[in-house]
């Protein structure tokens, strides 16, 4: 997958309406494969001129392939982090607030926080804490708290994954193998009774597994769209989760199954 230039990234950040539309285009193509311009225009309720500009932008980023009169996805199902940040922001913020409130504030605490936009929301909410150490392999998580002098922030080494801005590989795994934390806070691409906690990339999964293995407790933070879903690489069994923080859009049958395994489920209140 191609990566965005700095100017391209800025364009996503300063045009939230367009960024959301671009995500919707990728979602539609991911679900249906090849789609015509006419069909996409009807689904998105935009003009063909607007859609063609959006398609050109996505093609330049290596995210779609243009065809005669349409487009198809050029990549796998994993969205780049710059696009995931635009999906369900209110739910992710609410999950971050709820998750942070579950952590004790009256004693020193060491937490490991993984990558993803929801995990970064938890880090932001923890930003005012004192006597808190955060260990992370994610550039987005570190950036959320880097300017907080009241925190001790430790980053692992590793190789940067362009899609997730996470440091992975042997250096990152060695860093996690050398620590012990009270809680690991992990985002996920999928959480299910049958398949546990999953992500799109096997190397990322191994790094996350190292993080989880050296934590006394595991908290998973994931919006409702991830519950009941499974992706290619397993991080941990569902029974390894101590606390799952999600929102009310999650599949209630899947949540019931997780509770039967002993998982504490907390639903964040998402403002409408």
DSSP 195-262: TEEEES-HHHHHHHHHHHHTEEEEEEE--GGGBT---SEEEE-GGG-SEEEEETTS-HHHHHHHHHTT
Of 191, 192, 147, 187, which is closest to residue 166 (Cα–Cα)? 187
Residues whose CB falls within 8 Å of the CB of residue 107, separated by 6 or more in sequence, listed in order: 131
> Could you tell me the pLDDT band of residue 3, with boundaries at 50, 70 and 90?
very low
Bridge partner list, 244: 220, 265
Share of the chain above pLDDT 70, in %: 89
* All CATH 3.40.50.1360 domain ranges in the chain, comma separated: 88-268
* Average of per-residue pLDDT across 66-79: 75
Give, as one character, the DSSP assignment of residue 106.
S
- The pTM is what? 0.74
Q: Under a CB-based contact definition with an 8 Å cutoff, are residues 29 and 65 in contact?
A: no
Determine the number of helices (DSSP H) and then strands (DSSP E) in the chain: 11, 15
Highest mean pLDDT pick, 13-27, 50-64, 120-134? 120-134
Q: Is the pLDDT of residue 120 over 60?
A: yes
Q: Please report how many Cα atoms fall inside a 13 Å half-sphere around the Cα of residue 45, on the Cβ side.
A: 0
Kindly report the CATH number that applies to the domain delimited by 88-268.
3.40.50.1360
In the chain, CATH 1.10.10.10 sits at: 6-75
- Which range among 18-27, 45-54, 161-170, 234-243 shows the weakest confidence by mean pLDDT? 18-27
Average pLDDT, the chain: 88
Residue 190's beta-bridge partner residues?
Answer: 198
CB 4 within 8 A of CB 163: no
Q: At residue 35, what are phi and psi to the nearest 5 degrees?
A: -135, 150
CATH topology for the 6-75 domain: Arc Repressor Mutant, subunit A (1.10.10)
Q: What percent of the chain has pLDDT over 90?
A: 67
CA dihedral defined by 87, 91, 97, 100, rounded to 10 degrees?
-70
Question: What are the structure tokens assigned to 267, written together?
Answer: 């639903």
**Per-residue DSSP letter, 39:** H
Strand partners, 199: 233
pLDDT of residue 101: 97
Inform me whether the pLDDT recorded for 82 exceeds 60. no
Average pLDDT over residues 205-214: 97
Q: How far apart are CA 272 and CA 255, in angstroms?
A: 22
pLDDT, average across residues 69-80: 69
For residue 4, pLDDT beyond 50: no
């Amino acid at each position: 997958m191609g990566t965005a230039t700095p100017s391209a990234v800025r364009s996503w950040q300063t045009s939230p309406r367009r960024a959301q539309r671009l995500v919707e285009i990728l979602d539609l193509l991911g679900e249906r494969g090849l789609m015509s311009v006419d069909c996409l225009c009807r689904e998105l309720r935009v003009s063909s001129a607007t859609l063609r500009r959006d398609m050109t932008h996505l093609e330049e980023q290596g995210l779609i392939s243009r065809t005669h009169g349409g487009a198809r996805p050029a990549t796998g199902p994993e969205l780049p982090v710059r696009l995931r940040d635009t999906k369900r922001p209110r739910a992710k913020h609410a999950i971050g607030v709820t998750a942070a409130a579950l952590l004790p504030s009256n004693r020193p605490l060491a937490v490991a926080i993984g990558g993803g936009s929801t995990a970064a929301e938890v880090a932001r909410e923890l930003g005012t804490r004192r006597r808190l150490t955060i260990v992370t392999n994610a550039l987005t998580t570190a950036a959320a708290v880097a300017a907080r002098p009241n925190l001790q922030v430790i980053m692992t080494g590793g190789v940067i994954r362009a899609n997730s801005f996470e440091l992975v590989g042997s250096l990152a795994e060695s860093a996690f193998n050398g620590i012990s934390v009270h809680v690991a806070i992990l985002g996920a691409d999928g959480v299910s009774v049958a398949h546990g906690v999953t992500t799109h990339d096997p190397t990322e999964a191994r790094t996350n597994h190292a993080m989880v293995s050296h934590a006394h407790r595991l908290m998973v933070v994931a919006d409702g769209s991830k519950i009941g879903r499974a992706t290619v690489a397993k991080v941990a069994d569902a029974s390894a989760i101590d606390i799952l923080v999600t929102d009310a859009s999650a599949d209630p049958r899947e949540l019931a199954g997780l509770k039967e395994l002993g998982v504490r489920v907390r639903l964040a209140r998402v403002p409408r």
